[in-house]
Amino acid sequence: MPDWRRSVRRERSGMFFRSSDNGFVHPHASEITPQRVYQQRRAFMQHLATGAAGASLAAWASREAMAQGATARPGKLAPLPGKVSTVSGAAVMEKITAYQDASTYNNFYEFGTDKADPARNAHTLKTDPWAIDIEGLVKKPGRWDLADLLKLSPMEERIYRMRCVEGWSMVVPWVGYSLAELIRKVEPLGSAKYVSFQTLADPKTMPFVGSRVLDWPYEEGLRLDEAMHPLTLLCFGMYGEVLPKQNGAPVRLVVPWKYGFKNAKSLVKIRFTEQQPATAWNKAAANEYGFYSNVNPNVDHPRWSQATERRLGEDGLLSKKRKTLMFNGYEAQVASLYAGMDLRKNF
Ligand code: MTE
């Protein structure tokens, strides 16, 4: 087992109970990421680290490096390329986590609580046909088939940090478009203040639905202005391909400045409400998981510090722990959403 897996396992007991890593053997990132892309990225990061690149060159080079992401397909699933996004904050210049790590170290409790369970069990998930129902306080409620959602707006590649509340993180090239594109089409009423997201709960194909780990279906929620923020992604793919089932196929949410559990997978319903909606982890442990769940190194989880994190795929020595950034590094883009709020109370 590589060091990073061992140390994440040693240290973190998981959202619900004990360690969930079963410790299966796992190759190093450089063995998995296509060699050419990996070397290009490494050379690029070193170039930046030496300070040799001027700002404009860095911006150009990063776009080139990012664009490689779309072609760096692991080659298992249908291609889903996205154009490089121009949304502020949508192209993190950090080493991208190996596809192998991002697709085998997962939280998707419908398929089991062990990090390896979703990759092992999610093959039973049926993603065709698929649709999302739009309900509640909108002028245009109704059912959107996946085919129509895929056509609604051009696909973009967004390279985001993802910080799990458990203290590990990764950098993933997601593919999708701003959720705001869909929200504008369904025209929320003036009374709509929140958006709730419901995911599939099918006991026939999801072996842990029915277990008492969570109150199914998995639900999440955002304030309407958070849902409309351009960084909030309706996500259909990663690494230039459609999402693997364990990562929430065929469509999920990605909200990069919040803890990973806000990123509801395999969405089937989006509902616009006046009242703050219930969320799965808040119902399970309200003192541990608040509604907002913004990444905040200054507010500890009751059972562990949130000041630092481990990046998946990195050497797991203690010295390699990195500092967690306010709003996961997206402070410039999102801090204004919370102006005047007490982020300890509204955690
Ligand atoms: N969505 C559903 N439906 N069920 C889940 O158990 N887990 C959440 C989130 N979305 C979860 C979910 C948690 S805790 C995290 S950290 C992320 O998915 C993990 O996403 P990833 O496996 O793609 O990294």
Q: For residue range 101-151, list pLDDT tens digits in order.
A: 999 999 999 999 999 999 999 999 999 999 999 999 999 999 999 999 999
How long is the chain?
347
**Ligand 1 close to Cβ of residue 293 (< 6 A):** no
Is the peptide bond between 141 and the residue preceding it cis, with omega within 30 degrees of 0?
A: no
DSSP states along 87-104: STT-B--SPPPPHHHHTT
- Distance, CA 302 to ligand 1 centroid (Å)? 20
In this prediction, what percent of the chain has a pLDDT beyond 90? 75
- Is the pLDDT assigned to residue 283 strictly greater than 90? yes
What local confidence, expressed as pLDDT, does residue 4 receive?
Answer: 62
Average pLDDT in the 253-273 region? 99
Q: CA 203, CA 230: separation in Å to the nearest integer? A: 34
Place 320 in a pLDDT band, splitting at 50, 70 and 90: confident
Q: CA 117, CA 20: separation in Å to the nearest integer? A: 9
What local confidence, expressed as pLDDT, does residue 55 receive?
Answer: 39
- Is the pLDDT assigned to residue 247 strictly greater than 50? yes
Query: What single DSSP character describes residue 63?
Result: H
Given a contact cutoff of 8 angstroms between Cβ atoms, the answer to whether 228 and 194 are in contact is no
Q: CA 114, CA 239: separation in Å to the nearest integer? A: 24
**Ligand 1 close to Cβ of residue 107 (< 6 A):** yes
**Ligand 1 close to Cβ of residue 197 (< 6 A):** no
CATH of 7-299+316-335, one of 3.40.250.10, 3.40.50.300, 3.90.420.10, 3.40.1280.10: 3.90.420.10
Span 176-233, pLDDT tens digits: 999 999 999 999 999 999 999 999 999 999 999 989 999 999 999 999 999 999 999 9
- Is the pLDDT assigned to residue 47 strictly greater than 60? no
- Distance, CA 55 to ligand 1 centroid (Å)? 36
Average pLDDT, the chain: 86
- Distance, CA 88 to ligand 1 centroid (Å)? 25
Tokens representing 229 are: 């923020």
66 vs 315, which has greater pLDDT? Answer: 315
**Ligand 1 close to Cβ of residue 265 (< 6 A):** yes
Q: CA 135, CA 188: separation in Å to the nearest integer? A: 10
- Distance, CA 220 to ligand 1 centroid (Å)? 11
Amino acid at 259: Y
Q: CA 270, CA 220: separation in Å to the nearest integer? A: 10
**Ligand 1 close to Cβ of residue 264 (< 6 A):** yes
**Ligand 1 close to Cβ of residue 292 (< 6 A):** no
Choice from 111, 206, 265, 311 to test ligand 1 binding pocket (greatest atom count within 8 A of CB): 265
Q: CA 272, CA 293: separation in Å to the nearest integer? A: 20
- Is the pLDDT assigned to residue 6 strictly greater than 90? no
Across the strands, what pairs with 30? none
Q: CA 39, CA 324: separation in Å to the nearest integer? A: 26
- Distance, CA 321 to ligand 1 centroid (Å)? 22
Closest residue by Cα to atom 11, ligand 1, is 108
Domain boundaries, the chain: 7-299+316-335
What local confidence, expressed as pLDDT, does residue 44 receive?
Answer: 44
**Ligand 1 close to Cβ of residue 103 (< 6 A):** no
DSSP states along 215-269: -SSPEEEEEHHHHHSTT-EEEEEETTEEPPGGGTTT-EEE-TTB-GGGS--SEEE
- Is the pLDDT assigned to residue 30 strictly greater than 50? no
- Distance, CA 246 to ligand 1 centroid (Å)? 9
